[in-house]
Amino acid sequence: MARTAGSDGGRTEAAIREAAVQLIARHGFEAVTMRQLAAEVGVQAAALYRYFPTKEDLLHTLMREHMEALLGAWEAARADNDDPLARLTSFVANHIRFHVERRHATHVSNMELRSLSRDNLTSILKLRTAYEKELRTILRDGADAGLLEVDDTGLTAMAIIQMITGVIVWFRPDERLSVDEVTATYLAMTMRLTGAKTNAEDRHVRQDAELRAR
Amino acid sequence: MARTAGSDGGRTEAAIREAAVQLIARHGFEAVTMRQLAAEVGVQAAALYRYFPTKEDLLHTLMREHMEALLGAWEAARADNDDPLARLTSFVANHIRFHVERRHATHVSNMELRSLSRDNLTSILKLRTAYEKELRTILRDGADAGLLEVDDTGLTAMAIIQMITGVIVWFRPDERLSVDEVTATYLAMTMRLTGAKTNAEDRHVRQDAELRAR
DNA sequence: GAATTAATTAAACGTTCGTTTTATTAATTT
DNA sequence: AAATTAATAAAACGAACGTTTAATTAATTC
């Protein structure tokens, strides 16, 4: 009826976050009740309020940390490289790996925006916009250098992000394809989609080789 | 306190559907209450139950009819054409037009699947799968005819659908771009993404023309 | 070992939810 | 004009919701 033996605030909070991500990803934020979440963690509902002041604050925390982790992963993965094609490759590969590894959290961050209040929504959208801007910059640099054929930078960035984020809709680990195989295929599609010059060159090299072999 | 003068079942049901699509698209199915919906329509909550037996049945009806309309629009738009490239063009153009015209209903159909019971979910997924199969068939035919370069038919189909459905996330009519302009850009990206041969030919034709003009 | 702080339970709060029941009036049919 | 059917309002149902309060025990500090 009170503090349980061996209870630990740090562990409980981590368990709440984990359970919340799973439950919200599966049922949606509005459909998950604090009692349901508490039961999953193994505590009473009131105990949740020691760690998060409100249900919405819990959601906002999960989203903010997910977006910050995404931006952090990109900063770590980005080769300090001048080559736009290498940067584009890094971006797509990092995005797919990160999203496959955190399918549930991504689902939450993408689907539950409408459950946030104005201020909380604004703070998440700011992070999201910053991330999208990274891709737009790469595409513009690539187009300026004559390495990419991009009609509309903003529109192409949205198309690519939607395409590569869509992986989480159908991808399941331990099925037909590995993460690396999926990444390779999506990279090839991205390069074709943006008219990347290396791709065209590769194709010509291959064609030439075939012709010479005859 | 009872039947209102001028009330009409047909009109009321239509009003319920319209209001439901708007409200669910904006707030999410779980967040919309029957009282809120009724207020939007201008009736009491109990009146809704004359038209839909439960809240979930209302959602299911909206989704089913949306998916059937999408399949119907595709059947009407599909030129009875043997050329896979022409069919691919029709598919993308029809998809974007339909989704832009019915942004809210599309949002509902894509986001609220988890609020459906097993049986209702199955019936919607069946329609969705049938639609996706249309695109897979086009891609396979195109690849078999040597007109497209597609590594993985299923994966490419998902990538394209996610890309072109994503239009509704950012597109707003009466802004920078018209539907036709957006469609043209997405068609160009789709053709590049699938390595469509016409595109390569066009490019060569254009390049030749430029060279000759010098 | 006494005092304090951390972690939790148990119980309750007022509110709101989807839905049902019953009554009432408008429109239609006979 | 009487009888019937369609369309709704009004009120209530029990259940469940997010959250708060108060009490209680475990762990830590002094």
Sequential DSSP letters for B10-58 = HHHHHHHHHHHHHHHHHH-TTT--HHHHHHHHTS-HHHHTTT-SSHHHH
Q: Kindly report the bases of strand D lying within 7 A of a protein C-beta atom.
A: 6-12, 16-27
- Residue B46 pLDDT exceeds 80: yes
Total CB pairs under 8 A between chain A and B: 76
Give the 3-state DSSP-derived string for A11-24, with helices as H, strands as E and coil as C.
Answer: HHHHHHHHHHHHHH
- For every residue of chain A, DSSP letters joined together read --SPTT--HHHHHHHHHHHHHHHHHHH-TTT--HHHHHHHHTS-HHHHTTT-SSHHHHHHHHHHHHHHHHHHHHHHH----S-HHHHHHHHHHHHHHHHHHTHHHHHHHHH-GGGS-HHHHHHHHHHHHHHHHHHHHHHHHHHHTTS---S-HHHHHHHHHHHHHTHHHH--SSSSS-HHHHHHHHHHHHHHHTT-HHHHHHHHHHHHHHHHH-
Q: Strand, coil or helix: what is B112? A: coil
Residue B214 has pLDDT above 50, yes or no: no
Angle between helices B153-165 and B118-144 (to 10 degrees): 110
> Per residue in B70-108, pLDDT tens?
999 999 998 778 799 999 999 999 999 999 999 999 999
pLDDT value for A2: 74
B47 touches chain A (CB under 8 A): no
B206 CB within 8 Å of a chain A CB? no
pLDDT of residue B9: 59
% pLDDT > 90, chain B: 81
Express each pLDDT in B25-39 by its tens digit: 999 999 999 999 999
- Residue numbers of A between 54 and 113 with CB closer than 8 Å to B: 111
CA A20 to C1' C11, whole Å? 25
A176 interfacial to chain B (CB closer than 8 Å): no
* Spans in chain A with pLDDT lower than 50: 203-214
What is residue B212's predicted lDDT score, i.e. its pLDDT? 47
CB atoms within 10 A of CB A126: 11
Q: Do A193 and B192 touch (CB under 8 A)?
A: yes
- Can you tell me the mean pLDDT for B166-172? 94
Decide: pTM greater than 0.85: yes
Distance CA A130, CA A134 (A): 7
Question: How remote is the C-alpha of A92 from its chain's centroid?
Answer: 10
Phi, psi (degrees; rounded to nearest 5) at B41 = -80, -30
In the predicted model, is pLDDT for residue B139 greater than 80? Answer: yes
The pLDDT score that the predictor gives to residue B201 is 53
The pLDDT of residue A174 is 81
Is the C-beta of residue A7 closer than 7 Å to nucleic acid chain C?
Answer: yes
Interface check A39 vs B, CB under 8 A: no
For residue B138, which of B181, B94, B105 has the smallest C-alpha distance?
B94
- Residue B10's pLDDT band (cuts 50, 70, 90): confident
Residue that wins the pLDDT comparison between B203 and A82: A82
pLDDT at B18 over 60: yes
Residues in chain B within 8 Å Cβ distance of A114:
26-28, 31
Helix, strand, coil percentages in chain B from 3-state DSSP, rounded to 5 = 75, 0, 25
